[in-house]
Amino acid sequence: MTLVSPVRKDFPILCSPEGEKDLVFLDSAATTQKPEAVIRRISDYYRYENTNIHRGSYPLSLRTEEYFEKARRTVRQWLGAPRAEEILFTKSATESLNLLAHSVLSAWAGPGDNVVVTELEHASNYYPYREQCRVRGLEFRVIPAHTDGTLDLTAAKALIDGRTKLVSVTAMSNVTGFSPELPPLIQLAHGKGALVSVDASQAVAHHRINVEELGCDFLSFSGHKLYGPMGCGVLYGKAGLLERMPAFLWGGDMLERGTDGSVICRDAPGRFEAGTPNLEAILGLAAAIEYLDEKNFPILLAYERELSEQLLEGLKAVPGLCLHGPEGLSPIVTFSMEGYGAYDVGTFLGAAGVSVRCGAHCAYPLMERMGLESSCRVSLGIYNDSHDLDLLTERLKELGRRGYVHRGKAAGILPPVSGTL
């Protein structure tokens, strides 16, 4: 069955003559492409609305402030958070996670306490905690993965205890697309008195997330992975927790005069939004969410699931291709090609306009657990279609054919000439 994206035409880079010719973009886990609606929102901001917020006393500034707070409400609604004040804007998920590592541990952790992460984590949800534990003298614990990239939940029970202050876990691996079962992990952590942070950087584009239903205490993602622009991250935190957390960045806009005239920190979310926000990116993210709502996100996800099935079938049919990670459908798939390094595969594909990621994916503990030096990763977006997948698999088959030729030559064996025995 030929699958055609219902929204590809909305993405200029994939369609317009000025865009990259014949681009087959299969690296959405690195960043998603942007629909015209998002691009237009950003340029409209600079054309007609540009001003700073929380500073000016003139209509233009007040209007931009309204748009800014409306964007906050849009994200609140997207995540199903109870209150807009529980949504913080940062520069990226990496900044959100560093903020959490600093501020949560400042508020609640002391000598003898520990933080638990998993081997599935992207570097941004691993090293901020490792470093904060080192600086504060806390124990840094890691729930191991299995060699197939799934999570060892049995080990989690031994590692999360009464001194665990925070458990931070991904909702979806950026390497394999595997999604650990979060509810039992969250229940386990809460049962021991630990807070739970979920890194939804990948999951946010492939699942509809509701933070109240999920029950996590914190959740973060990057706008540019949800078809929004770069430069905007989101951190959700329960209001009662944010109130008790110290600021991470200090400077303008997060301070105010107290009743005694002294300078004090503002309440959340302002306390955590020092400096001039990346307004165009925040407004762009809101535009991305509105776009996805308008296009019916559940239908797009259903389309993506069908595409994931086709992707898996196509890759399994490539001779010499080895899939890594757990069984099952996923819009993120990692693999290697016999006889080639991941870099070779990526470069060969790239020469034909097929964009994938190759390397360690900033997920060093997981790659080591899976026994991989590097791998190739295909990650789908709502704009991909059967044509993209056909080009991918054809090019991979071509690489495999060349590999035979080269390996054969090196061994002194010539390939059979077609039509002869």
Shortest distance in whole angstroms from residue 411 CB to other proteins: 9
* Closest approach of other proteins to the CB of residue 373, in Å: 5
Please name the amino acid found at residue 111.
P
178 binds other proteins per the rule CB under 8 A: no
Categorise residue 332: left if φ over 0, alpha if ψ from -120 to 50, beta otherwise: beta
What's the CA dihedral at 105, 107, 111, 116 to 10 degrees? Answer: -30
**Active-site entry in 133, 216, 232, 362:** 362
Contact between 335 and other proteins per CB under 8 A: no
Strands 357-359 and 332-337: unpaired
Q: Which is nearer to other proteins, 300 or 372 (CB)?
A: 372
Using CA atoms, how far residue 269 sits from 84, 85, 237, 243, in Å, is 9, 5, 9, 9
Structure tokens at 332: 């993120």
Closest to 236 measured CA to CA, from 84, 68, 75, 86:
86
Is residue 341 a contact point for other proteins (CB under 8 A)?
A: yes
Instruction: Determine if 401 is a binding residue for other proteins (CB under 8 A).
Output: no
Residue in 166, 176, 239 with CA at minimum distance from that of residue 203: 176
d(CA 411, CA 277): 60
Contact segment (CB under 8 A) with other proteins among 65-73, 193-201, 252-260, 350-358 equals 350-358
Where are the extended beta strands (E) located within 261-392? Answer: 263-265, 321-324, 332-337, 354-355, 357-359, 375-379
The C-alpha atoms of residue 231 and residue 243 are separated, in whole angstroms, by 25
State yes or no: residue 414 binds other proteins (CB under 8 A): no
- Whether the link from the prior residue into 365 is cis, omega within 30° of 0, is no
Among 137, 191, 343, 401, indicate the residue that binds other proteins (CB under 8 A): 343
Distance of CA 196 to the CA centre of its chain: 18
Q: What CA–CA distance (Å, rounded) separates 23 from 401?
A: 23
Q: In whole angstroms, how close is the CB of 374 to other proteins at the nearest point? A: 7
Our finding on whether 270 is near other proteins (CB under 8 A) is no
Based on the shown chain and the rule CB under 8 A, indicate whether residue 407 belongs to the binding site for other proteins: yes
Is the four-CA dihedral 101, 104, 110, 116 of positive or negative sign? negative
Q: Which of 212, 256, 293, 373 binds other proteins (CB under 8 A)?
A: 373
Q: Does 134 bind other proteins (CB under 8 A)?
A: no
Query: Binding of other proteins at residue 4 (CB under 8 A)?
Result: no
Contact map string, positions 290 to 329, toward other proteins, x by CB under 8 A: ----------------------------------------
Near other proteins by CB under 8 A: residue from 239, 360, 387, 391: 360
Helix axes 59-79, 279-294, angle to 10 degrees: 50
**For residues 7 and 24, what is the distance between their CA atoms, to the nearest angstrom?**
15
Q: Stretches 36-44, 48-56, 217-225, 345-353: which one binds other proteins (CB under 8 A)?
A: 345-353
Number of residues in contact with other proteins under rule CB under 8 A: 21
186 versus 358: smaller Cβ distance to other proteins:
358
Reply yes or no on whether 362 is catalytic: yes
What is the residue whose two structure tokens read 């020092």? 274
| Nearest distance from C-beta of residue 401 to other proteins, angstroms | 12
Residue 283 beta carbon to other proteins: minimum distance, rounded to whole angstroms:
33
Instruction: For the beta carbon of residue 255, count every other beta carbon within 10 angstroms.
Output: 16
Considering only the stretches 10-18, 174-182, 203-211, 346-354, report the one whose residues sit in contact with other proteins under the rule CB under 8 A: 346-354
Contacts of 300 by beta carbon, 8 Å cutoff, 6+ apart: 6, 7, 292, 382
What is the smallest separation between the CB atom of 371 and other proteins, expressed in angstroms?
13
Q: Which residue has the tokens 């500034």?
A: 61
83 part of the interface to other proteins, by CB under 8 A: no
Least distance (Å) between residue 359 CB and other proteins: 5
Q: Which of 296, 309, 406, 415 binds other proteins (CB under 8 A)?
A: 406
| Span interacting with other proteins, options 89-97, 134-142, 239-247, 344-352, rule CB under 8 A | 344-352
* Binding residue (CB under 8 A) for other proteins from 4, 351, 414, 421: 351
Q: Which DSSP category does 417 fall into?
A: P
Residues lying near other proteins in the complex (CB under 8 A) are found at 339-344, 347-348, 350-351, 358-360, 373-374, 402-403, 406-407, 409-410
Q: Which residues are catalytic?
A: 362
